[in-house]
Chains A and B, each alone.
Chain A
Amino acid sequence: MANPSPKRRARERAASLLALPATLFLAVFFVLPLARILLYALDGRLLLQADTWERVGRALGFTVYQAALSTLLTLVVGVPLAFLFARYEFPGKRLWRALLAVPFMLPTVVVAAGFNAFLGDRGWLNLTLMRLLGLGAPPVRFTGTLTAILVAHVFYNTTLVVRLLAHALEHLDPHLEQAARMLGADGGKVLRHVTLPLLRPSLLAATALVFLFDFTSFGVILLLGGPTFATLEVEIYVQGMHLLNLPLAALLSVVQLLCTAALSSLYSHLLPRIVTPFSLRPAEANLRAPRRWGEKLFLLSSLALLVALFLVPMTSVPFRSVARLEAARGERGEVRYGLTADYYRELFLNRRSSLFYVPPLAAARNSLAYALATVLLSMALGTPAAIALARRGQVARTLDALFMLPLGASAVTLGLGFLMVFRRAVTSPWLVPLAHTLIALPLVIRTLQPALASIPPRLQEAARVLGASPWRAWWTVEWPILWRASLAAATFAFTVSLGEFGATLLLARPEYPTLPVAIYRFLSQPGGLNYGQAMAMTTILMAFTTGGILLIERLRPPASTEF
Chain B
Amino acid sequence: MLEVVNIHKTYEGQPLLTGVSFAVARGETVCLLGPSGSGKSTLLRIVAGLEEAEEGRVYWEGEDITHVPPHRRRMGMVFQDYALFPHLTVAENVAFGLRMQGWSPQDQRARVREVLERVRLSGFENRRVTDLSGGEQQRVALARALAPRPHVLMLDEPLGALDRALREELLEELRGILRASDVAAIYVTHDQEEAAAVADRILILHGGKIVREGTPFEVWNDPGSLWVARFLGVGNILFGECRPGSGSPALKTPLGVFPLSCPHCHEPGTRIAAILRPSAVEESADGEIRSRVADVLFQREHFRVSLENGLYVFFPRAPQIGETVALRLRAPLQCVGE
- Listed in ascending order, the chain A residues whose CB lies under 8 Å from chain B are 173, 175-176, 178-186, 189, 193-194, 197-198, 276-279
- Are the C-beta atoms of A189 and B50 separated by less than 8 Å? no
Q: A183-B100, A184-B72, A197-B87 are in contact. Are A178 and B81 (CB under 8 A)?
A: no
Among B71, B81, B99, B130, the residue within 8 A (CB) of A182 is B71
Q: Which B residues are in CB contact (< 8 Å) with A175?
A: 79, 81, 83
* CB < 8 Å neighbour of A176 from B72, B85, B97: B85
User: B100–A176 contact, CB under 8 A?
Assistant: no
| B100 and A189 contacting across the interface, CB-CB below 8 Å | yes
Which of B77, B81, B148 is in CB contact (< 8 Å) with A279?
B81
**21 A-B residue pairings within 8 Å (CB atoms):** A175-B83, A176-B83, A178-B77, A178-B79, A179-B77, A179-B83, A179-B85, A180-B85, A180-B96, A181-B50, A182-B145, A183-B97, A183-B144, A183-B148, A184-B72, A184-B74, A184-B100, A184-B101, A186-B69, A194-B85, A198-B87
The 10 closest A-B pairs by CB, nearest first: A183-B97, A175-B83, A184-B100, A179-B83, A278-B86, A182-B77, A181-B70, A175-B79, A197-B87, A185-B100
- How far is the CB of B220 from the nearest CB of chain A, in Å? 32
Residues of B within 8 A of A278 (CB): 86, 130
B76 at the A interface (CB under 8 A): yes
User: Which applies to chain A's interface (DSSP): helix, strand, loop or mixed?
Assistant: helix
- Report whether B85 and A186 are in contact in the complex, using a CB–CB cutoff of 8 Å: no
Contact residues in B for A178 (Cβ distance below 8 Å): 50, 70, 77, 79, 83
Interface centre among A183, A189, A198, A277 (most CB of B within 10 A): A183
Of all chain B residues, which has the CB nearest A186?
B71
Known: A197-B87, A278-B86. A184 touches B71 (CB 8 A): yes
* CB contact between A198 and one of B75, B81, B86, B145 (< 8 Å): that residue: B86
On chain A, the residues within 8 Å of B96 by CB distance are: 180, 183, 185, 193
**Contact indicator A182/B85 (Cβ below 8 Å):** no
Task: Confirm or deny: B48 has a beta carbon within 8 angstroms of a beta carbon on chain A.
Answer: yes
Q: How many interface residues does chain B have, given as a range? A: 20 to 34
Query: Residues of B with Cβ closer than 8 Å to A?
Result: 48, 50, 69-77, 79, 81, 83, 85-87, 96-97, 99-101, 130, 144-145, 148
Q: Provide the residues of chain A in CB contact with B148, threshold 8 Å.
A: 183-184
Closest to B76 in A: A182
Measured between beta carbons, the chain A residues less than 8 angstroms from B130 are: 277-278
> Smallest CB–CB gap between A288 and chain B, Å?
11
Chain A residues in 8 Å Cβ range of B81: 173, 175, 279
Cβ-closest chain B residue relative to A281: B81
Chain B residue with the shortest CB-CB distance to A185:
B100
Residue of B nearest to A277 (CB): B130
Residue of B nearest to A176 (CB): B83
Q: How far is the CA of A518 from the CA of B236 in the complex (A)?
A: 87
Alpha-carbon distance between A276 and B79 when the two chains are bound, in angstroms = 20
Give Cα A178–Cα B144 distance, bound, in whole angstroms.
Answer: 13
- B80–chain A nearest beta-carbon distance, Å: 8
**Hey, which chain B residues are within 8 Å of A198, CB to CB?**
85-87
| Bound complex: CA A194 to CA B87 (Å) | 8
User: Which residues of A lie under 8 Å from residue B73 when comparing CB positions?
Assistant: 182
In the complex, chain B residues whose CB is within 8 Å of the CB of A277: 86, 130
- In angstroms, Cα B28 to Cα A466, docked, is 65
Residue from the set A173, A180, A184, A198 with the largest chain B CB neighbour count within 10 Å: A184
Cβ–Cβ < 8 Å partners of A197 in chain B: 87
Least distance between A426 CB and chain B CB atoms (Å): 56
Closest to B99 in A: A193
Assembly CA distance A194 to B85 (angstroms): 7
When distances are taken between beta carbons in the complex, the residues of chain B under 8 Å from A184 are 71-72, 74, 97, 100-101, 148
